[in-house]
Structure 1
C-alpha cells in the first residue's frame, strides 16, 4: 500500500503549515481592513425619515421631535444601543459636541434600537452621562432599517432642509463635517 502524494509536493510538513498560517493571517487582515467602518463620508442626499419609534425619553414636558419640528436646524441622528460598548463610550464626547455646536443650530437626537421592554436600560445609559440632554428614542428599529444602519454607533447629519448630507462612525469626522458647513 502506498501513500498518496500531495499535489505538487512543495508545501509539506512545517513549510506547509507556515504557508497556511501566513495565508490565514493575510486573509484575516484583508477582511478586517475591508469591513472596518470608515470615519465618515458625504452621502447621496436622502430625506430624514419620519421618526417612527416606540417612545421618547429626555423630552421633559415638551413634545417629541419630528422631522418637521427639526427643520431649520442641522440634525445629528445618533443611532446606538445600550449593549454597544463603543456607543456608550462615545456618549460623553457626543454631549461635548452638543454643548459646542448646539448654540450654532445643531440638534442631536438619539435613536436606540432597544424595544420598550428595555426602556429602563436606555434611561440608565442617559442618567450615567452628564450633559446628555437631547431627546432619545427607544424602539427605533424602523428608522435603523430606513437608513440602512448595519453598524453602530452611526451618526447621520441632516442639513437645515432635512436632507442627509453625511454619515459615519467617528465623532471627530462628524465635527470636521460640521465645521466645513457652519
Structure 2
C-alpha cells in the first residue's frame, strides 16, 4: 500500500502546475520555457500597431478581458500595480477587450478606471483574429511571453501572475 501511495505522489509531483509551461535550464541554470514564439499582430484603439516582433526584448502580457467580466475586473488593481512597477523595467501589457461597447464609451470607461496600457478591440469578440490566434474560449485569459517572445505561461492570475511577471522581468 505504501509503495502505491508513494508512486501516486511521485506522479502528481512530476505533473506541471496549472498555468505553467514546460521548463528546461539555461547554461547558467535558470529555468527557460520550451515553448516557441507565438507570432501575433494587433492594432490598439489609438491606431498603434503591436506585434510579437516589435516587442522582442520585453516581457509581454497579453490579457483578454471585458468590462462585464467580474473576474477580469478583480484583476485590474493587480495589473495596474504590475504596469506601474514593472513597465519601466521591461514589461508591456496589451489588453484585448471583448467588449461590444462603442469605442467612445470604452475609452471613457478606461479613462475613469485609469487604465493606461494599450487596448486592442477587434470585431468578432471570441471569433476575432487575435482571439482565434490565441485560442481564447473564455475570459479572463492571459498569455505571458518572455523577452525572446516565447510563451512562458497562460491563465495566470493573482499572486502567481505577479510572481511570474516579476521573475521574467528580473531575469534580464
Query: TM-score normalized by structure 2?
Result: 0.68
Give distance in 2, aligned partners of 1:84 and 1:121.
16
Cα distance in 1 for partners of 2:85, 2:116 equals 13
Inter-partner Cα distance in structure 2 for 1:133 and 1:125:
11
Distance 1:50-1:129 versus aligned 2 partners, 3 A rule? same
Q: Does 1:138 align with 2:125?
A: no
Query: Larger Rg: 1 or 2?
Result: 1
What displacement does 1:88 show? 2.3
Residues 13-41 of structure 1 show CA distances to partners (whole Å, capped at 9, x for unaligned) of: xxxxxxxxxxxxxxxxxxxxxxxxx8632
Tell which deviates more after alignment, 80-89 or 157-166: 80-89
The residue number in structure 2 matching 1:119 is: 103
Task: Provide the residue aligned with 1:160 in structure 2.
Answer: 147
CA distance in 2, matches of 1:127, 1:39: 33
C-alpha RMSD over aligned residues: 2.4
| Partner residue, 2:39 | 49
Deviates more, 1:93-102 or 1:121-130: 121-130
- Which residue of the partner structure matches residue 5 of structure 2? none
Q: Given that residues 86 and 166 in structure 2 are in contact (C-alpha distance below 8 angstroms), is that contact kept between their aligned partners in structure 1?
A: no
Paired with 1:86 and 1:128, the residues of 2 have a C-alpha distance of 19
**Contact 2:75 2:157 (C-alpha < 8 Å) held by counterparts:** no
Q: How many residues align?
A: 138
Say if 1:122 and 1:138, in contact at 8 Å, map to a contact too: no
Does structure 1 retain, via aligned residues, the 8 Å contact 2:59–2:147? yes
Question: For 1:177, what is the secondary structure of its paired residue?
Answer: helix
1:24-43 alignment runs, 5 A limit: 40-42=19-21
Contact 2:52-2:149 at 8 Å conserved across structures: yes
**TM-score under structure 1 normalisation?**
0.65
Give the match for residue 64 of structure 1. Answer: 49
Deviations 1:31-56 (A, max 9, x none): xxxxxxx863226614233224xx52
CA contact (8 A) 1:40 1:168 kept: yes
Helix, strand or coil at the partner of 2:50? coil
Would you say 1:173 and 2:163 are equivalent positions? Answer: no
**Residues 142 and 156 in structure 2, CA contact (< 8 A), matched pair in contact too:** yes
